[in-house]
A = this chain, B = another copy of it.
Amino acid sequence: MNTPLPSHLLPEIHQREVPVALIDALKARFGDRCSTALAVREQHGRDESAFTTVPPPSAVVFAESTQDVADAVKLAAQHRVPVIPFGVGSSLEGHLLAVQGGISIDVSRMAQVLSVNAEDLTVTVQPGVTRKAVNEAVKSEGLFFPIDPGADASIGGMAATRASGTNAVRYGTMRENVLALEVVTAQGEVIRTGTRAKKSSAGYDLTRLMVGSEGTLGVITEVTLKLYPLPEAVSAATCSFPSIEAAVRTTIQVIQMGIPIARCELIDAGTIRMVNAHSKLGLREETMLLMEFHGSPASVQEQAETVQAIADEFGGQAFAWATTPEDRTRLWTARHNAYFAAVQSKPGCRAISTDTCVPISRLADCLLDSVAEADASGLPYFLVGHVGDGNFHFGYLIDPDNADERRLAEDLNHKLVARALSLEGTCTGEHGVGLHKMDFLRHEAGDGAVQMMRTIKRALDPDNIMNPGKIFAW
């Protein structure tokens, strides 16, 4: 598992000194809640990405309150030591790696739902609450929180990476669904951004500056989210297609007609084979769309009939319903497990995951050429997509000890990103930049915009202690 980091990242990879005095001060302040055990440190120094080669953080602080976070940051700031916030560790982009050393602040114990305001469709939570826990807390009110990135990620982490997932086609991403934040700054000060009002023009949008800042501008200690009434009716359907192109053309037409579909996911035939092998599902091994419709019973039926008619035009077959919650859960679990099913299909492999997103009109161009390239490479891969948003993920399955496979996967990823950017898209729809996409970001945003990001970072965090070495080079 010792996949080397790409050479362009090397300037950002250097261990800064963590003085014993800091560890002593943290132990004095936090007692048992400051751990320097190797196993704990190692668990906090990695994530789901293919990078695991840097040393772990020097200590892990288990914060239980905003004050804990503020005190830990203040102590670290006194010693100019990096601070890396940790939720559940489900990042795919190396966000949690201590590339410049430092300490990890684990917020998973900050897991209280602070207030549910059913009348206003808002909920305020601590950052360690996971998305499933939010839904558990609000379902008795007839409400739900739609953002679903697959993993049961922490809300703090989801805000920090501007996460989205399968429901974004209808409900938007964390960008649209975070109303307000509490944040501990690089100086250890506690600030609040936004209010519970639905809209505001009160100064710079610090909420959205923090959403997607990947821990580089502050530690999120409280999040106010939008909620939605549980739809009166929910129906999921699968439909098989003779080709990826047919599924993509169906998706494009559904979106362009303005059908308020809640989920529209693509899984290619090869990935379904992996899912069948992993979850014993017996799904038809052809390209498939998984769809979900939310609304009144009449509206759900109307949406589904329209979509079925469109799918028919493109050769869609075996349109099948999953109307019971159990059937739906089984389907979405299969979708969410695609990543694990794929990784288990090649023992010892790691997945290099792509995350491009393009305008829907460019989706076929972007996806089909990339499938042809991946097929030609001979590298096994999985392919799943939030195609309703123009976002899809290849996961190239590589032996981490095989430099050739690594190079091949990176080459495919580079070509895919270049294609997405030429089609007015983005290198990352939802995973964030982290370590792996720093070079892509420069190409996408341009030196001027990256320089503006850097200027903001340097102004707010002049000692570069907040998750350094991520998003862009210092």
Q: In chain B, what residue has the closest Cβ to A253?
A: B119
Contacts A120-B359, A120-B361, A452-B185 given; does A203 touch B198 at CB 8 Å: no
B197, B357, B440: the one within 8 Å of A390 (CB): B197
Residues of B within 8 A of A391 (CB): 197-199
- CB atoms of A199 and B389 under 8 A apart: yes
Shortest beta-carbon distance, A218 to chain B, in Å?
9
- CB atoms of B458 and A203 under 8 A apart: no
Which stretch in A74-82, A283-291, A443-451 binds the other chain? A443-451
Q: In chain B, what residue has the closest Cβ to A388?
A: B198
- Tally chain A residues at the interface, Cβ within 8 Å: 87
**Is the CB of A168 closer than 8 A to any CB of chain B?**
yes
- CB atoms of B258 and A203 under 8 A apart: no
Residues of B within 8 A of A195 (CB): 421, 424-426, 444
B428, B433, B460: the one within 8 Å of A452 (CB): B460
Shortest beta-carbon distance, A421 to chain B, in Å?
8
B193, B203, B428, B441: the one within 8 Å of A471 (CB): B203
Q: In chain B, what residue has the closest Cβ to A213?
A: B204
- CB atoms of B203 and A445 under 8 A apart: yes
- CB atoms of B358 and A452 under 8 A apart: no
- CB atoms of A359 and B213 under 8 A apart: no
- CB atoms of A173 and B199 under 8 A apart: yes
- CB atoms of A448 and B185 under 8 A apart: yes
**Is the CB of A196 closer than 8 A to any CB of chain B?**
yes
**Is the CB of A402 closer than 8 A to any CB of chain B?**
no
Q: Measured between alpha carbons, how far is A244 from B358 in the docked complex, in Å?
A: 47
Contacts A190-B448, A359-B122 given; does A431 touch B201 at CB 8 Å: yes
Q: Measured between alpha carbons, how far is A118 from B433 in the docked complex, in Å?
A: 30
Residues of B within 8 A of A257 (CB): 229
- CB atoms of B201 and A161 under 8 A apart: yes
Residues of B within 8 A of A421 (CB): 195
Per-residue B-contact encoding for A199-243, CB less than 8 Å = 1, 0 else: 111111110110111000100000000001100000000000000
- CB atoms of B185 and A199 under 8 A apart: no
- CB atoms of A452 and B119 under 8 A apart: no
Q: In chain B, what residue has the closest Cβ to A160?
A: B201
- CB atoms of A164 and B199 under 8 A apart: yes
- CB atoms of B199 and A430 under 8 A apart: yes
Which stretch in A61-69, A127-135, A294-302, A330-338 binds the other chain? A294-302
| Those of A116-157 within 8 Å (CB) of chain B | 117, 119-122
- CB atoms of B198 and A357 under 8 A apart: yes
Shortest beta-carbon distance, A175 to chain B, in Å?
7
Residues of B within 8 A of A198 (CB): 357, 359-360, 389-391
Q: In chain B, what residue has the closest Cβ to A302?
A: B296
Taking A162-B199, A195-B425 as known contacts, 11 extra A-B pairs with beta carbons closer than 8 A to each other, sorted by chain A number, are A119-B256, A119-B360, A161-B201, A164-B199, A191-B449, A191-B452, A196-B425, A201-B212, A204-B213, A204-B456, A205-B212
Ranked nearest first, the 9 interchain pairs of A and B with the lowest CB-CB distance are: A459-B459, A119-B361, A208-B208, A191-B448, A200-B426, A229-B258, A120-B359, A196-B424, A162-B201
